[in-house]
Structure 1
Amino acid sequence: MTSRFKLGLLTSSLLVAAGSFAAPAMAQDQSDESAASDNQAIVVTGSRIARTDLSSTSPTAVVTAEEFLLSGATNVEQVLNTLPQVLPGVTSFSNNPGNGAATLNLRNLGAQRTLVLVNGRRWMFYDTNQIVDLNTIPQFLLEGVDVVTGGQSAVYGSDAIAGVVNFRLRQNIDGIILGGNYSLTGKGDGARYDVNFAIGTPFADGRGQVTIYGNYLRRESIFQGARAYSRFAAGDGCVRAGTTDRATGVGVSLGGALGTCVARGGEIGLVPGGSASTPIATLPGVGGGNGLIFNPTGGGTRPFLNPEDLYNFAPDNYLQLPQERYLFGGYGNFQITDGIEAYAEVSYVNSKVNQELAPTPGGIAASLQINSPFFNAGTQAALAAAATPADLALGRSTQNVGFRFNQSGPRNSSQGRSAFRIMTGLRGEIVSNINYDLYYMYSRTENTQFQQGNVSVSRYRATLETETVGGVTRCRDAAARAAGCVPLNVFGQGLADPAALRYVTINSTNLETSDLQNIVGSISGTLGSIFGNSEPIGFAVGGEYRRVSASYTPDTFLASGDVIGFNAGQPTGGNYNAKEVFAELRIPLVNESFIHRLELTGAARYSDYSLDNVGGVWTYAGGGEFAPIQDITFRGQYQRAVRAPNVQDLFGGQSVGFPQAIDPCSSRTPVALQTAAIRALCVANGVPAGNVFTTAVQPNQQIQAQFGGNPNLGEETSDTFTIGAVIRPSFIPRLNITVDYFNIKVKDTISTFGGGLNSALQLCFTVAQDLTNPICSIFAGQRNPTTGALGETSGGRNPPVLSANIAKLATSGVDIQVDYNIPLNFSLTGSDESRLTFFFLGTYLDEYRTTAVAAIPERVTIGEGTIALPKWRHTARLGYVDGPAQISLRWRYNGPGIDSRIINTFNGLVRTEQDPALFPNRRVGAFNYFDLTGSFAVTDNFQLTAGVNNLFNKTPVVLGTAQEQGNNVPGFYDPLGRDFFVSARLNF
């Protein structure tokens, strides 16, 4: 089927199936009328206490199943990432960085601080960071998703710092449901195929219910080269005036410093970027200037031209990752006796996601044979001129060689993830209005990562270091020759011997596993009322046991560090457990007397962790609701929450690294910073007085240090305060308005110590200037007593730049939601029912702050928000329902932003604003996306839905490679352009 025919089919389907939704697609604290009918008690996310209405002291947004249908979503991330409370985490567009998963990042506080539940219970996580992969959740079975803001640790335990997202699956299915979805971009690529089924039936005269389900999903890839904005690697530069291409955003480079660009007649913009590692070898240290690049035919060289000779790596990267997923499961319940009901859930997922990067760049230092037959006379003379006397005496020249292994093909990482979860429990009524619930859950995830395109550093060097004996050029190292080493001719276009390429390239396999065991028992019910209220006091008490274990076993090749291509890794593994008790109370004080309602809520949990530095911790919450009249309710809550360190934080494999850094005590420190105060600090830190600000302290650009997890970590702690109002005016039926202010502060946040070695050095010596400050602790006793140098290779010790409880996070803002539907007194289809529906959800971001070292003051300027963190963001939907026909229009708005580098440039970690004039696209305007959807109930059992997302084909602004990837932030801005979908659902 051709792409043109596919587009025609989709367009025809859209016209045939006019569509929308029958109710607001999302609702925040729905009205009491939509709660449980006949006063049936239900449990609302954020509480374990059953109640007869859906009110809550915590701000809660509800995404209905209808929204997933109207959005054409095949994965839950596609809808949740459009909510203003959510910033995209890892998505289907996360190629580098990425890991084949889809994660949820509530309030931009990190996926590890967002607790994900399914049916109110913990779900399986996929890695050593203990994060849930949204690919494992059957979105086609969703009844709704509850997004609760703020720390919920008192109710649910660790990790609920930013909030809780609870996915509620449909229950009591009776019959067969068949569904399918097909999606295609406006360019005819990136197709997505999704088919699913669910079969449910009661049994044993209605005492039992069972549901089984299955799903198959296939998503095709799109490369960055398929879109104009991501086709070129673009970087900041001085652009020749009037040369910027409107489609790509890239202009002709004028060269020179940005600070003098305008004075030279240029303009700040984006210029062709790329990598100096090219498919033809370069010698950056030979010949002066930018060095030399070899001729395509080999042997000879010419000066390397920047940017003309840079390699454009962008087209080889995925923009949309391909995926294939199988998902099966089931759940059911059986009433054993009047007071005992057994229930169970089981789920299995197998998902394969590929990542693809440009061929491996190989820049290493090698001792080259000057008279190699790979070089002509001119090149040999240049190498000889650049050689040291010692090398020249041996006929060698040690030089950096740049090269990209295009002949070996791209780097590919295949993530094959299998996961299963089983949960079983008993529940029932002990006595009237007192219920119990006890369940056990076990889940396991295994991820096998197969990587192609890695190159061994040692083997690569051996193939470059040659000698000629008896007229035959061979690898100089005898042991390497015995292992199959063949000289590698990278000094031209496509000249490499296939045998040499096979020798240096190595495929690797990494294995990651994670296990979660959870036992929870609770008793809940009512205790009677006080002050003559009709509403009784509600309570819940219980206990929980949770055991977490995870491991990462890298290929022995990657663990050795002898690798370029993909990152080296160290083994990680560990486990811990927590024993917890909890209690929750809801006390109605006044109900329908002189005021409409007044109630207080409280919750507390004590957790005893097997981790020595966490031990026993308390979390708690307190809040209330006050409704002076039925039309308006005020609510507020304070919550203390914790996050225990995860396996990666604690047991992440430690390794020695050699990052580029500047020791402020060395000659590499700018002269302006070579002050008496810093000199005194250096001497106090162990640098001999005569060596301060000399090369003896730092002979190389790199400084050796220790990196990885830290078993001595403690817990993170957060304080959340929310206050708001729910307005349901009786004089405007069916109108609901909520306004909520949130303020979340996280302290003792776990992050890499000081933000990295170089940042820690600058913070200690140029910002804090106090060796008793925590940031300076990693440098105590680490220096060579003779030279003052850091690192074992320089005779000192390696500073431990490990994970630490040293940072802090804070965010605050306001959520606003409006739900309204209006019955109409006319119909275009002759039906008995028609109405307009309206939904609006927006977030105003007052402040968002990150501080890598809490002990050092900071100055924060948000401006109008960073590019992916705007001050204002909203989603809205307007719909028209007319009997079997529905149509809706969704409006997604991302407010204007500022290039984050302007406000996130640090002198140490004290934020300073850069000159905005030196940044292209420094102000990114607002983005408006419109999505049109239609649906038609052909019969009572058969429904067709079709739609187009990004109706007006809004394409991203080219922001350059300094952003996340693809010259943009593809999880935040729509990266694909116009996108069509058609779906069908059959019930019988």
Structure 2
Amino acid sequence: MAGSILTAALAPQALLAQDAPAAEPTSAAPDRSAAPKAETSPANDAIVVTGSRLAGKGYTTPTPVTVIGSERITALAATNLGDALVKLPSFRNLTAPTTALASTGSGGNLGARYLDLRGLGANRTLVLVDGRRFVPSSILGAVDSNLIPALLVKRTEVVTGGASAAYGSDAVSGVVNILLDTDFEGYRATLQGGITQEGDARSFLASAAIGTHFSDNRGRFVIGGEFADDRAARNCFSRHWCEVEPQIFQNPGYKTNGQAANFIATQVRPSTMTAAGIINSPGSLRGRQFNPDGSLSATPYNYGATPDVQFMIGGGQYGTNFRLAVPYLRIPVQRFSLLSNLEYDLTDDLSAFVTASYGQSVVHNRGAALYERALTASIENPFLPADLRAMMAEQNISSISYGRFGDFVLGGDDISPTNADAKSKSFRIAGGLKGKIAGSWTWDAYYQYGQMDYRVAVNDVKNIPNFNRAIDVVDGPNGPICRSTLTNPNDGCQPLNLFGIGQFSQAAYDYAFGTPWQEQHLREHVVAANVTGTLAELWAGPLAVAAGVEYREDITRADADATGQVFGWQYGNGAQYSGSINTKEIYGEASLPLARGAAFANTLEINGAVRHTDYSTSGPVTTWKAGIVYEPVAGVRFRGTRSRDIRAPSAQELLDPGRVTPGSVVDRNTNIGVIARLFTGGNPNLKPEVATTWTAGVVLSPGGSGALAPLRLSVDYYDINLAGSIATLTAQGIIDRCFQGVADLCSLIVRDSDDLISEVHSVRLNLNRLYTRGIDVELDYRFDLGPDARLDLNLLGNYVADLTEVDSGGAVDRAGQTGQQYLGAVGVPKWTLNATAALKLGAFTATLENRYIPRGKFDAVLVGPEDPGYDPTLATSIASNRIGGRLYTNLGFSVDLTRDAPTQIQLYGAISNLLNVSPPIAPGNTGTNPSLFDTLGRTLQLGVRVRH
């Protein structure tokens, strides 16, 4: 095999698409709008650009396309494709092992790495592999990029604009097309390990692939696999920035004391819970604690400042804030993937192919500790210490209210935190034919089968009815028994002693706690055929056309344990349902050249596409796209598109009868934070979301031999307006809108006997509008330093003018929101920059990447002194609604040990967060926003690559 292991100066030029077929990634990188070089075979030598179905030499698409070469992954030692992509400004890192936190994986694939363009949601970004749909990794419809072996990825093409007319549903915010290297000969292997400066989040990666040609190169076979073991990062308290115990805190007296209703506080600890138990009422016994052995302590509880029903500032004991103490900063994920591809040229004009892949991930997560602030114990409970019962009798107290939490780690002496074990398996096989008809005409047809199986079991979860019976204990003839057993001797109830630490029996624990489980199964069948070619040779070039048909059937089945189906568990409740969705599609596309080499236009082309889709669930819908490319002079190109795009509802959105998850919310009536049960469900009457998308941009690529020759600059504007957005209001959104007077939402809120929120209900509807506008900028420049030396510079930027959701309560613009309040909606930075410098000096390469996230709002629904309309007497006021920005620096390096030998060996490494920059304090479900800011700290990766 000829050539270096790294075919370019790593990242910068690999990010840009090539302007002409002959250009290799090692050349100066032109704009990102045109076709990259495609691999060829005797049956198909055309270039197909993601974002269009058209093929032809020199075709330039009006839709912005960014090409990420395999060098982007290797440059900074990313362990998977998703880790490399999410650093680009147009992607949002919302679903990843570092953002799972306390998730029990009930809604989808726990530990998955989903790709999300524009922050519109991963289900609005279509992921393709070699131009074909990949089987979804969950019934939510998104694809886990972890399950595609990075070693076999040749390049990834990212369309940052609507492409439903070309590819169908889900291509609202864009398309990610992962193109595999299925034509190489020889073998390649990688071995890599990593660890953080804190000694956790250890990672191990091993991958290998072989490729061969046979039958005089008529046959080509490739097989490759990848195994990765990413260990957990400890909890938030393992990092110094979290030692301050940060949390958003509420001020109940905000209406009269002149201070904001919310503020970010430090040293926040539980006020109504301890590990062994604390009495919260009546007032005469408030603050009396239990010792670990269950006896009554003589030392009263040390209350901090402003204690509410759950938290306080100071007092108590350091490290007892369960929101920070329990969740991993990165959950452990072990994954394996295998992919093979066989192609054979039956004749000079006809070839057959079969491709198959298998992916598996095994994930563990630590969820929430038991936290109970309002348990009740009667004076009849024999587990109460005798001296306490005597006090109660003397004061004529019939019962007490007490609180306690469980262990924060697994394997302790008390009640373990909930912990999920999930396994996902994905299989895909596709086979078909492709060939030439006559002249430039080519065709392909294939059948694809895919399946996904996912199971998650959540251990140590409270069984609500059993738990309530087990803690209501009285004296029986042979010792403590459940009160329920007096009237139902065969109910199986075991009395549970929660006073002290670990004072309960195993039988009682097994009765009150258990393991809910859920399963998701998806089977997908796809049959498709496409044809492309030149309809006519016109005055300015060929009239290129493409057309095709596709039939797709998705069969879904979900199952869950019997208790979960009736919402009997505190967490991890699942549902049982099944159904199928059939989709029939037909499309056509054409490109009409109007001028080429004319005085008024070096190039002028218009492009159009239309697709008609018929869903068995919601009926027919039509999508379309119109585009234009205008190059007045060589090196200056203008482009624009307008399209109508759709996203069809997923199986879960349509069929799910309902599920329950826990979450923290703020009750605006009292301005107190509580833990509530959140109910969500599907809706079989949902319709596809419909988006109207505009893009317009300019590309400058001077060329020639002057100082500007290596310059490549593109600036693109986008505007995506999504109507009928399928959504449920967030739990906090429902509460806030109810408080603001939207009466129909108040019926979705349930309160307990203390008039505190205990449940919030929501169902999916086509009721929202979602729109975003912004600008993408890409700049590339190369310095040639000698015969085997160069410096490549690349700048990627994204400015977001709007990211607005409109619902019945009004509009909320989350552009510029870089924090997240509990279960509130996430936002995006107002702007983001990613600057990369890559230096190559002979056998040595180094890549320096800088990523900047500016100062932003903590939460868009809150109003601080920095915002217009601030009033401390408003429930949505906050003492400061700004959090700091951060600059992250990453360094990659490599040395080719055997550059010209048949077997090439390379040593490489990378240091992410080189300067060990701490994230800003922005507490929500953890101490910061992990979807934007690094929570692990400085991390080292080292490895070796071999190619032959």
TM-score, normalised relative to structure 1: 0.81
Residue 651 in structure 1 maps to residue 604 in structure 2: no
Q: Judge conservation of contact 1:161–1:641 (CA < 8 Å) in 2.
A: yes
CA distance in 2, matches of 1:729, 1:466: 83
Residue 384 and residue 658 in structure 1: after superposition, are their counterparts in 2 closer, same or farther (change >3 A)? farther
**2:197 pairs with one of 169, 186, 201:** 186
| More moved, 760-769 vs 567-576 | 760-769
Q: 2:692 aligns with which of 715, 719, 722?
A: 719
Deviation at 1:607, TM superposition (A): 0.4
**2:537 alignment partner, SS class:** coil
Question: Are the structure 2 counterparts of residues 77 and 27 from structure 1 closer, same or farther at C-alpha, using a change threshold of 3 Å?
Answer: closer
Q: Once the 2 structures are TM-superposed, how far is the Cα of residue 521 of structure 1 from its aligned partner? A: 0.6
Higher helix share: 1
2:823 maps to what in 1? none
CA distance in 1 between partners of 2:530 and 2:46 (Å): 16
Match of 1:27 among 15, 26, 34: 15
The residue number in structure 2 matching 1:462 is 469
Q: Give the Å deviation of 1:764.
A: 7.9
Instruction: Say if 1:932 and 1:226 are closer, same or farther in 2 by CA, change over 3 A.
Output: same
Change (3 A) 1:967 1:128: same
Range moving further from structure 2, 543-552 or 147-156: 543-552
Q: 1:267 to 1:473 in 2, by over 3 A?
A: closer
CA–CA separation in structure 1 for the residues paired with 2:851 and 2:679: 45
- The aligned residue for residue 921 of structure 2 is 958
**Deviation at 1:725?**
0.5
Report deviation, 1:481: 5.9
- Shifted more, 595-604 versus 567-576: the winner is 567-576
Which amino acid in structure 2 is aligned with residue 652 of structure 1?
A: D
In structure 2, the CA distance between the partners of 1:763 and 1:169, relative to structure 1 (3 Å rule), is same
Cα deviation per residue 1:863-899 (whole Å; 9 max; x = unaligned)? 6866752211011111221222212211111122111
Describe how 1:526-605 pairs up with structure 2 within 5 A: 526-530=534-538, 532-533=539-540, 535-564=541-570, 566-594=571-599, 595-605=601-611
Asked if 2 retains the 8 angstrom alpha-carbon contact of 1:602 and 1:621, the reply is: yes
**Helix, strand or coil for the counterpart of 1:527?**
strand
For residue 618 of structure 1, what is the aligned residue in structure 2? 622
Q: In structure 1, which of residues 939, 944, 956 is the aligned counterpart of residue 907 of structure 2?
A: 944
1:506 equivalent to 2:511? Answer no
Work out the CA distance in 2 between the residues paired with 1:803 and 1:524: 40
CA distance in 2, matches of 1:37, 1:298: 72
1:278 corresponds in structure 2 to 274
Query: Is 1:924 matched with 2:928?
Result: no
One-letter amino acid matched to 1:586:
S
Q: Percent identity?
A: 27
- Structure 1 window deviating more from structure 2 (706-715 vs 600-609): it is 706-715
- Tell me the distance in 2 between the aligned counterparts of 1:515 and 1:480: 46
1:105 is aligned, of 116, 123, 138, to: 116
Aligned to 1:750: 726
What CA deviation, in whole Å up to 9, does each residue of 1:127-166 have, x standing for no partner? 2211111111111221111111122110000111111111
* Shift in CA distance, 902/424, structure 1 to aligned 2, threshold 3 Å: same
C-alpha distance 589-950 of structure 1, shift in aligned 2 (>3 A): same
Q: 416, 420, 433: which one pairs with 1:413?
A: 420
CA distance in 2 between counterparts of 1:288 and 1:74 reads 58
Aligned counterpart, 1:252: none
Q: What CA distance in whole angstroms lies between the structure 1 residues aligned with 2:733 and 2:812?
A: 17
Deviation digits for residues 506-525 of structure 1 (CA, Å, limit 9, x no counterpart): 12332111222221111111
1:489 aligns with 2:500: no
Q: 1:260 to 1:158 in 2, by over 3 A?
A: same
Q: 2:662 & 2:330 partners in 1: Cα distance?
A: 33
Q: 1:452: Cα distance to partner?
A: 1.3
Q: Is the 8 A contact 1:369 1:465 kept in 2?
A: no
Distance 1:263 1:516 in 2: 56
Look up the equivalent residue of 1:404 and give its one-letter code.
G
User: 1:711-750, CA deviations, whole angstroms, 9 ceiling, x for partnerless residues?
Assistant: 1111111011000011011342232110000011111001
Residue 927 of structure 2 is aligned to residue 984 of structure 1:
no
Query: Residue 466 of structure 2 aligns to a residue in which SS?
Result: helix
Per-residue deviation at 1:372? Answer: 2.4
SS at match of 1:317: coil
Partner in structure 2 of residue 683 of structure 1: none
1:532-589 superposed Cα distances (whole Å, 9 cap, x missing partner): 22x211110111111122232122232232222x232222432211101000011111
Contact preservation (8 Å) 1:26, 1:839: no
Distance in 1 between the 2:221 and 2:563 partners? 48
2:321 is matched with which residue? Answer: 312
Give the Cα–Cα distance (whole angstroms) in 1 for the partners of residues 163 and 6 of structure 2: 41
Structure 1 portions without partners, runs of 5+: 1-16, 239-254, 671-700, 770-774, 784-788, 792-797, 826-831
| Worse-matched range after superposition: 114-123 or 409-418 | 409-418
Give the match's secondary structure for 2:151. Answer: helix
The residue number in structure 1 matching 2:615 is: 609
Corresponding residue to 2:220 among 194, 201, 209? 209
SS at match of 1:443: strand
CA distance in 1 between counterparts of 2:725 and 2:271 reads: 35
What is the CA–CA distance in structure 2 between the aligned matches of 1:603 and 1:745, rounded to whole Å? 19
Task: State the match for 1:816 in structure 2.
Answer: 777
Larger Rg: 1
Match of 2:795 in 1: 840
Q: Deviations over 1:820-854 (max 9, x none)?
A: 212124xxxxxx3211111111111111111233x
Superposed, which structure 2 residues align to 1:133-532 within 5 Å?
133-224=144-235, 225-230=237-242, 233-237=245-249, 257=253, 269-274=265-270, 276-287=272-283, 292-300=288-296, 302=300, 305=303, 306=307, 307=312, 308-309=315-316, 311-313=320-322, 314-362=324-372, 366=376, 368-370=378-380, 372-382=382-392, 397=399, 399=401, 402-404=404-406, 407-470=414-477, 472-478=479-485, 482=490, 484-530=492-538, 532=539
Task: Using the TM superposition, give the Cα deviation of residue 428 of structure 1 relative to its aligned residue in structure 2, in angstroms.
Answer: 0.3
Corresponding residue to 1:53 among 58, 62, 70: 58
Alpha carbon RMSD of aligned pairs, Å?
A: 3.8
Q: Distance in 1 between matches of 2:740 and 2:338?
A: 57
Q: CA deviation at 1:384?
A: 8.2
Report the more deviating stretch, 598-607 or 520-529.
520-529
What are structure 2's unaligned runs of at least 5 residues? 24-35, 408-412, 753-758, 821-826
Could you say what secondary structure the match of 2:442 adopts?
Answer: strand
What is residue 250 of structure 1 aligned with on the other side?
A: none
Q: Which among 967, 970, 975 is matched to residue 927 of structure 2?
A: 967
Q: 1:143 to 1:762 in 2, by over 3 A?
A: closer
Supply the AA of the counterpart residue of 2:854.
G
Name the counterpart of 2:29: none
* 1:449 to partner: Cα distance: 1.1
Residues 1:507 and 1:802: Cα distance change in structure 2 (over 3 Å):
closer
- 2:89 counterpart residue number: 84
Task: Please say if residues 356 and 413 of structure 1, whose CA atoms lie closer than 8 Å, have aligned partners that are also in contact.
Answer: yes
What SS is found at the alignment partner of 1:849? strand
SS in 2 for 1:135: helix
**Displacement of 1:761 after TM fit?**
8.6
Secondary structure at 1:279 match in 2? coil
Mapped partners of 1:449, 1:488: distance in 2: 27
Kindly tell me: are residues 22 and 109 of structure 1, through their superposed partners in 2, closer, same or farther at Cα, counting changes over 3 Å? closer
- Stretch of structure 1 that moved more, 117-126 or 705-714: 705-714
| Bigger mean CA offset, 742-751 vs 727-736 | 727-736
Structure 1 counterpart of 2:709, which letter?
P
Tell me, in whole angstroms, the C-alpha distance in 2 between the residues paired with 1:839 and 1:105: 22
Quick one: structure 1 residues 173 and 380, their matched pair in 2 at CA, closer, same or farther if it must change by over 3 Å?
farther
Equivalent position SS for 1:90:
coil
In structure 2, C-alpha distance between the alignment counterparts of 1:207 and 1:725, rounded to whole Å: 42
CA drift at 1:755:
4.8
1:981 maps to a residue whose letter is Q
Q: Match of 1:805, as an amino acid?
A: N
In the TM superposition, residue 294 of structure 1 has moved relative to its aligned partner by: 2.8
Q: Deviations over 1:296-323 (max 9, x none)?
A: 4434364673433473222332111112
